[in-house]
Structure 1
Amino acid sequence: MTKVAIITRTKNRPILLPRVRASVENQTFRDFVWVLVNDAGERGEVDRQADIARTNGVDVVVVHRDKSVGMEAASNDGMKKSSSEYAVIHDDDDTWQPDFLKQTVDYLDENISNVGVVTHSIRIDEEITDNHVKITGKSSFNGQLNSIKLSDLSFHNNFPPISFLFRRSCYDAVNGFDETLPVLGDWDFNLRTLLEGDIGLIPEALANYHFRISNVKASDSYGNTVTAGIDKHIQYEAIYRNRKLRNDINTNSLGLGFVLHQAYVAGPRHQSYVSLLIQKILKKIGLFEFVKRLLS
């Protein structure tokens, strides 16, 4: 058994594979296995990158799936093919800072009651042209995050998979990822994990969340699900919230559905309250009209 299982889901993204391999290889913490799950895509580059990683001293397990049935099924397959104390989903388009594993593993070793730990993330905008990745911008993705609260997470998913190291025992307790969800599976997993116990936070940007805004076609293998699949995200957010609330109503219980409903109702009201409060402050100090003209 290794300390950490790093699960990477990939399908026909050969341009990005060397970068994810480098992200894994550059970790200062080395007690891990890299599980590379090829979700029914071309095999050649996957095997080549795995061989390079092995040459560089990385323990690699390659899983070639014959049929693609979704990201969550690929994640579960990777977990089944490994044995570890902790686990993390390192998608093939995201990256880490070299100390990500060291700091997150140290945190969970020291905070044994926490089911997982999250770090801050940097959003990296990029585009792919002529088989090359060009970075077009960087910004904080969730630098304002100071704790992981069920109320906040029920309103929207405020951290990406690349930033979340979790205990395998918790993964087993929640029965893994929901394979019926074509999108939002990470959000659902995060919520169910948080119901098992607290998730800690390291307020340092140790993870990089990459976006390719220019690759917005759903048919483009390099598109992000949060951009290329935005319509599906909107559709399944409603389906997911309705499913959970319907279950609470049918079972006459207060569960995750009620929490999701309350967060959704309170969220816009809270935002409106904050907006009105800012307007009052600006008006009081005489800057409201100036800021209004500036923004317009």
Structure 2
Amino acid sequence: MSFPITRHRRLRGSAGIRGMVRETVLNVLDFVQPIFVTYGTGVRNEISSMPGVYHFSLDTLKAEVDEIAALGIPAVLLFGIPETKDAIGSSGFAEDGIVQEATRLIKQWYPELLVVADTCLCEFTDHGHCGMVHTHTVDGVVHGDVINDASLELLTRTAVSQAKAGADIIAPSNMMDGFVEAIRAGLDDNGFEHIPIMSYSVKYASAFYGPFREAADSAPQFGNRKTYQMDPANVREALREAESDVLEGADMLMVKPALAYLDVIRMIREQFDLPLVAYNVSGEYSMVKAAAQQGWINEQAVVLEMLTGMKRAGADIIITYFSKDAARWLRE
């Protein structure tokens, strides 16, 4: 049937009708709130390129976690900025590492709040890369190659130490080949068969990570990450990456970033039945914040539309720095 018998506007005529037929609904249980923990005392410093996001020392962390728990957000994603760094990122797998200490505190305060531990080395290495590197100098310029297989051992040690500290979910973000298999074996060998892996399966070498480099103090000291993170132009490669992680034992898959990669989220959703995570990254957050501060957009409307688009594309879980704001807006 066609117009005038068919009138699509009949189902848009009131808020009640629109709500009744709404196909995609955001829920606070969809969200994971990232947290940046750092050394020192009395630290609660706003990150200049990410308004509303802070570095917390362990003694100021509880107020942030209290707020997250009160809003009903079910999970946090921990990133750590250590006091010292070295070539192998040893503070990333130290028993008294900053992420490990923060995990113990959060699980003491809120046992039911899920702690997702980002498992990478870039915040902990003095060179800023996500694994071990072999460096050489040519004409005074430092060059380096990230060593894949040797890095797996360090990443596994990091994952196991995070699990021992009480992390509920291990989220490896390093994009080394074979990282899921190595970490799964390490967890299982140490009695953590029950700990799921949320794999950063499809992680692009994106320009949207800029503000995160400041937040995590993790900018590479030479070169870039294009030899291990994916080319933004590629989509079929995403299928290969995701399939490898499924076969290696991943429990959840992730696409990062989200906003410019909704087609990839949809494709992964259609090809695999594991829970799918979208990471609404720092640059996506900051550009919305900047436009809102200029009065150019309605921040609440834009954020909820953006997050709804990620869920509509197929995401089951959304990691976003807007989690607290979105949780409040959804309550209204």
Q: TM-score, normalised by structure 2?
A: 0.24
